[in-house]
Amino acid sequence: MKIIKHANIFSPAPLGIKDILIEGEKIIRIADHIDEYDAIDEVEKIDAEGRTVVPGYLDIHEHITGGGGEGGPTTRVPESQLSTIVGAGVTTVVGLLGTDGISRSLENLLEKTKSYNELGITCFMLTGSYGLPTVTLTGDIERDVMLFSQIIGVKTSMSDHRSSNMTGEELIRVATASRRGGLLAGKAGFTTIHMGDGPAKLDPLFYAVEHADVPITKYLPTHMTRNPDLFEDGIRFMKMGGYIDITAGETLEENRETADMLVHAFQEAGYDNMSMTSDGYGSMPKFNEKKELIGLTYSTPRSLHQLLKVLVQEKNVPLEEGLKLLTTTPAFLINMKGIKGTIAAGADADIIIYDEDMNVDTVYARGKAAVVNKEVFLKGKFE
């Protein structure tokens, strides 16, 4: 049992200065003062000293087994490291495959997902890949989602020269299978759609929404800030009641440009229908006009907090609104509202304490110290 005292809580809604009582992996109580345990040495006390305390971040699009490969075997991105994930304030991750659905297998992804849960964060995964018919563990999307506790949906791709050039009808079949599996297993059963630069933009998705009965909230197109025209399609989709996901940039300058796009979207469609992910350990290829690879790098989850800081400190977005991108909205999308992405009684004890300049200072993942005073304690077995 532990108590975080004198915490300036953003749940993400601002709650003011309060104490947080944690037992095991859960938040038990939040109150102005929790003093009855002060004389009990066995209860750990952490004094937040009035600093800002927020929910642990959810990164629901991360290539935890590595991505890349668009330039051949030497361009394969290395697997993720747990220390980097928690050091960035991320306590819940959804892993998925990238362009390579052959040498990067779902079997490997499943074992990596299991390992992260054993080590102390919360980790799920998506079945599927860029190609059609998509790769699965059982030979069927619906069976994967229903039978594996770690699998909560499917990943596919659209409007990208690396993708399968999916049609609206094909998207309907993929999303229906994921949705049905989710219903049978009591899971989200959503469909993440990698978006490229193709001229079709969201046209196949608009077709699917108009010609099938899969709820609009079960589609999640991602990388939506890839270009202005695609982003405008995304704003239209949000106004219809859908959700979009944006990818944090690789550099501070890119995140400033992305932040400007987000502020525009907030003005057009509000703060509630957008999530933010890192695309961590996935490749960031650069292609010329002939679709030839001319450069390749990769991102990490650190980009998430940098973009959030830009939104709050440079673009004057209220912290409680910016936090939704990394907390309550992704928690809703993965069907974990009230459990993840919030500081509340009954929620998992995933908590970040900021320093005075809004940097990630201390992180608790499921109630255990992952980072303390910027020193990472939660690491993989072989880090």
Which one, of 181, 311, 301, lies nearest residue 259 by Cα? 311
Q: Where are the beta strands (DSSP E) in the chain?
A: 2-10, 14-23, 26-31, 44-47, 52-55, 57-62, 90-95, 122-128, 151-158, 190-195, 219-222, 244-247, 274-277, 283-287, 293-298, 351-354, 360-365, 368-372, 375-376
Alpha-helical (H) ranges within 106-251 are 106-119, 141-147, 168-185, 203-211, 228-239
Neighbours of 78 (CB within 10 A): 11
Radius of gyration of the chain, Cα coordinates, nearest whole angstrom = 20
How far apart, in whole angstroms, are the C-alpha atoms of residue 70 and residue 162?
A: 9
How far apart, in whole angstroms, are the C-alpha atoms of residue 257 and residue 22?
A: 39
Which one, of 259, 256, 257, 201, lies nearest residue 234 by Cα? 201
How far apart, in whole angstroms, are the C-alpha atoms of residue 341 and residue 327?
A: 4
Which one, of 95, 103, 155, 105, lies nearest residue 131 by Cα? 155
Count Cβ neighbours within 10 Å for each residue of 196-209 and write b for 16 or more, e otherwise.
Answer: bebebbbebbbbbb
Q: Do β-strands 351-354 and 293-298 pair in parallel, antiparallel, or remain unpaired?
A: unpaired
Residue 311 pairs with which residues in a beta bridge? none
350 given a catalytic annotation: no
Q: Is 379 helix (H, G, I), strand (E, B) or coil?
A: coil
Which one, of 19, 56, 92, lies nearest residue 364 by Cα? 56
Residue 58 pairs with which residues in a beta bridge? 92
Which residues contact residue 256 at a Cβ distance below 8 angstroms, ignoring those fewer than 6 apart? Answer: 310, 314
Of residues 233, 245, 279, 348, which has the active-site annotation? 279
Q: Catalytic residues, which ones?
A: 279
